[in-house]
Chains A and B, each alone.
Chain A
Amino acid sequence: MGVIFFLIGCSVFIALIFLAAFFWANKTGQHDDTYTPSVRILFDDEVEEAGSTPTERSEAS
């Protein structure tokens, strides 16, 4: 059962990595704006085609 010391050590170490990741995210301001990225990701990619206007594409999609 001595392996339990090793396992607890491992689990605490991994948890500490996550804690450090959270600190890093917090420090670099990743929680500052919790709304805009959710909108941003839904914007369509730019398709630079000469012939197709945005309205046509929206009808096609």
Chain B
Amino acid sequence: MIVSKTTQCYHCGDEVSHTAYEADGHAFCCLGCQSVYQILSSSNMQQYYRYNTHPGKKKTEASVRYEYLDEAAIADKLIDFKNDEISVATFYIPSIHCSSCIWLLEHLYKLHPAIVMSQSDFLKKQVNIRFKHTELTLRGLVELLVDIGYEPKITLQDVIKEGRKFSQKGLIAKIAVAGFCFGNSMMLSFPEYFGMGAFEARYSEFFGWMNLGFALPVLLYSGRDYFRSAWQSLRRKELNLDVPLAIGIAVLFVRTAWEVLSTSGPGFADTLCGLVFFLLVGRWIQERTYHHLSFERDYRSYFPIAVTRLGEGGAKPVPLADIRVGDRLLIRNNEIVPADAILLNGQAAIDFSFVTGESDPVRKVLGEIIYAGGRQTGEAIELEVVKAVSQSYLTRLWNNEAFKPYERNFRTFSNTVSRYFTVTLLGIACSVLAYWFLAGDGVRAWGAFTAVLIIACPCALALSSPFTLSAALSIFDKNRLYIKNTAAIEQLATIDCLVFDKTGTISSPSASRMRFEGSLLPHEWEMVRAVCKNSSHPLSRELVKWAGEGSSESLSLSEYREIAGKGIEAIVSDYRIRVGSASYTGAPGNEKGSRVYVSIDGEVKGCFLVAQPWRQNLGLVLGELAKECRLHLISGDNDKEKAQLCSIFPPQADLLFGRLPIEKMEYIQSLQAKGHRVCMFGDGLNDAGALKQANLGVAVSDDINNFSPGCDAILDGRSFVKLPRFFRFAKDVVKVIHMSFGISLAYNLIGLSFAVTGTMSPLFAAVLMPLSTVTIIGFTTVATHLYARKNQLIKS
């Protein structure tokens, strides 16, 4: 029987290699996909498959146990609201990706009558579910979601909800008020600008009062942040850009009030409102963040919420925070060791890949200490906690250094310029004041003094950085480099030293290459394939994919056994086949490296070697990067791949192996002490300290929704090739900022030349201010896109 190669799984779109799974004439790649389809079709929800073809996602991770959700203490923390009948809970579901997902998650009531309503938020990848907790427990609800392929990500961080709510609502309200006042005061100022007859003077007075009324909320409500910020910066004995802005706003208001009260002129109310409005829009653009990416996830999002504690009353899930020293814990296959503990019972094979980057499980003997963060592979083990969760190795590593705010260790260009700008501006204003006083014209002196402060108010200057950087940010975003904030782009441009981690960073976990050493006859190949097909272990799946070709004639399989952490065994047409580790198959080899041995009837036939798969064009990328930066590789792994890496890295690069996380951090510190500006590329918690220490920490990840530790940017693994272009573009962006500063300074000089003579009219200010703003916005947007095109980051 030949299966056409183009058959795709009806649910997830993966290629179907054999037709064992079928329902209603649709083919499925695995049991998981088929069962999701059957659940949906039994509730008459095939519509899910109509909005998009293959909307599902294959279940990749081993299932988690959700008993802990039955614990009231834990469940209550996850539930947003609860009354006698109804509970409301919000889940973060990373697999939301298309309109079918929205449809399915909003029609959950069809699957279970206890679900009253569910609403999804696509951008935040959240679903809010209202359900009757008398009929459906929280655990039941979560398991239902898991069953249909939408596994919610429930982590410790969801339970300890702190400092996660970031809202721009206050700022938007301020923009609305400023915009409202801007529009109205501009309308009321038009008659004045176009000229009014003498008989219309009473209108002029009325318009003036109205304008003053509109300026008041802008000054007191919309613009108050600028005064606060200016005051704070003065107290720190610094001069940021908000100081001249605050002075400008204050002077504008005082002069407007004076002119209106003394009926000596129309005032500058529209300029004041417009200024604050544009400034706030700039600030809003600067503060926009990605909802779908969370840079603030820390080690807690990696830890489980609860662990199984063994007590007098048997095994019982308890919240992580309640774990005390001396508690006995039961850790099952695929569960994480939450605290440093001693092994009491069982075969421990701990996968520390998240902590050290080493992918091979580490075996531990009874009585040995197991550090927190490892994932048990194999049978359930019993542990005794020796250190509280907050004191363990991982947590200490994370808390090693206080979070670094940008303001502390990085001066943005606009910060640097603003110091000189403010001093110069005040100098000019005062000398103008002195000049006209000495000339004996007191009225003109004050007029010129205020005019200088008004016209030189660095509105365009304040906007040039945020607009350029946010345009750049969206270009990086499109190229799958997600940068935390705008300041990090300026940081990116200054980097002269790159440090790479190995596993997961320059090697890609998804594109592994396999090699077979030994000899297998064609029919033996078939048998190995048939055995591996039954296993859900990632290596088995890899093996089946790699061995892919061949007839799919089904061989009879019996006595199938899978021993977690060791291997699989089955009898296929009277041969006993074992696939697994060296000790399991009886091979003499060592356990180093990712090797999968095959034995048939006890005779070792050879082994599969899983080679470290380097990212595409790695050598090319590194070669190009080496032209401008020094390269370093620092790995927690042993040096078994040193020779290979030496040939990929340029000769002047430093390669270091077998480093502890803390040593990585110290290495970066020593580079910084030499005056280098370091960018660290890494993934995994073991890099967290180094990523935070570096001037710019970039987490390289193939799943951007994964935990990304203490980083300033997240790079999707697929865009690794674009790295040299990213660096060049960042430098160009800074160039654009410099140019736009030049343009806005030119506008300021033109304005000043009128202002110093004391002849500036309100109309002139009202035209010049928006004109310079629009020029800057237009210039930065166009220039940034041109540079992006030059660097081939957007298609022309």
Interface residues of A (CB under 8 A from B): 1, 4-5, 8, 12, 15-16, 19, 22-23, 26-27, 31-36, 39-40, 42-44, 53-55, 58
Interface residues of B (CB under 8 A from A): 46-47, 50-51, 99, 102-103, 106, 119-124, 169, 172-173, 176-177, 180, 183-184, 188, 203, 206, 210
CB-CB < 8 A to B210: which residues of A?
A: 8, 12
Known: A5-B206, A15-B180, A36-B102. A26 touches B122 (CB 8 A): no
User: Cβ of B46 and Cβ of A53 under 8 Å apart?
Assistant: yes
Complex CA gap A22/B180 in Å reads: 11
CB-CB < 8 A to A53: which residues of B?
A: 46
A35's partner among B119, B122, B188, B203 (CB-CB below 8 A) is B122
Closest 7 CB pairs of A and B: A36-B122, A33-B121, A39-B99, A35-B122, A54-B46, A19-B180, A54-B47
23 contacts between A and B (CB under 8 A): A1-B203, A5-B206, A8-B188, A8-B210, A15-B184, A16-B180, A22-B176, A26-B169, A26-B172, A26-B173, A33-B123, A33-B124, A35-B122, A36-B120, A36-B123, A39-B99, A39-B122, A44-B47, A53-B46, A54-B46, A54-B47, A55-B46, A55-B50
Q: How far is the CB of A45 from chain B (nearest CB, A)?
A: 11
CB-CB < 8 A to A4: which residues of B?
A: 203
Complex CA gap A21/B665 in Å reads: 52
Complex CA gap A1/B191 in Å reads: 14
Complex CA gap A27/B173 in Å reads: 9
* Chain A interface, DSSP helix/strand/loop, else mixed: helix
Known: A12-B184, A55-B46. A35 touches B176 (CB 8 A): no
Q: How far is the CB of B434 from chain A (nearest CB, A)?
A: 42
The closest CB in chain A to the CB of B170 belongs to A26
Q: How far is the CB of A36 from chain B (nearest CB, A)?
A: 4
The closest CB in chain A to the CB of B123 belongs to A35
Q: A32-B121, A42-B99 are in contact. List 5 more A-B contacts (CB 8 A).
A: A1-B203, A39-B99, A43-B51, A54-B47, A55-B46
The closest CB in chain A to the CB of B45 belongs to A54
The closest CB in chain A to the CB of B121 belongs to A33
Complex CA gap A53/B41 in Å reads: 11
User: Cβ of B169 and Cβ of A27 under 8 Å apart?
Assistant: yes
Q: How far is the CB of A52 from chain B (nearest CB, A)?
A: 11
CB-CB < 8 A to B120: which residues of A?
A: 36
The closest CB in chain B to the CB of A32 belongs to B121
CB-CB < 8 A to B173: which residues of A?
A: 23, 26
Complex CA gap A1/B183 in Å reads: 23
Complex CA gap A36/B118 in Å reads: 13
User: Cβ of A33 and Cβ of B46 under 8 Å apart?
Assistant: no
Complex CA gap A54/B124 in Å reads: 30
The closest CB in chain A to the CB of B210 belongs to A8
Complex CA gap A19/B203 in Å reads: 26
The closest CB in chain A to the CB of B106 belongs to A40
Q: How far is the CB of A33 from chain B (nearest CB, A)?
A: 5
The closest CB in chain B to the CB of A5 belongs to B206
CB-CB < 8 A to A35: which residues of B?
A: 122-123
The closest CB in chain A to the CB of B99 belongs to A39
Complex CA gap A34/B291 in Å reads: 11
Q: How far is the CB of B229 from chain A (nearest CB, A)?
A: 23
User: Cβ of A33 and Cβ of B176 under 8 Å apart?
Assistant: no
Q: How far is the CB of A35 from chain B (nearest CB, A)?
A: 5
CB-CB < 8 A to B51: which residues of A?
A: 43
Q: How far is the CB of A42 from chain B (nearest CB, A)?
A: 8
CB-CB < 8 A to A5: which residues of B?
A: 206
CB-CB < 8 A to A23: which residues of B?
A: 173, 176
CB-CB < 8 A to A54: which residues of B?
A: 46-47, 50
User: Cβ of B122 and Cβ of A33 under 8 Å apart?
Assistant: yes
Complex CA gap A54/B285 in Å reads: 44
User: Cβ of A40 and Cβ of B102 under 8 Å apart?
Assistant: yes
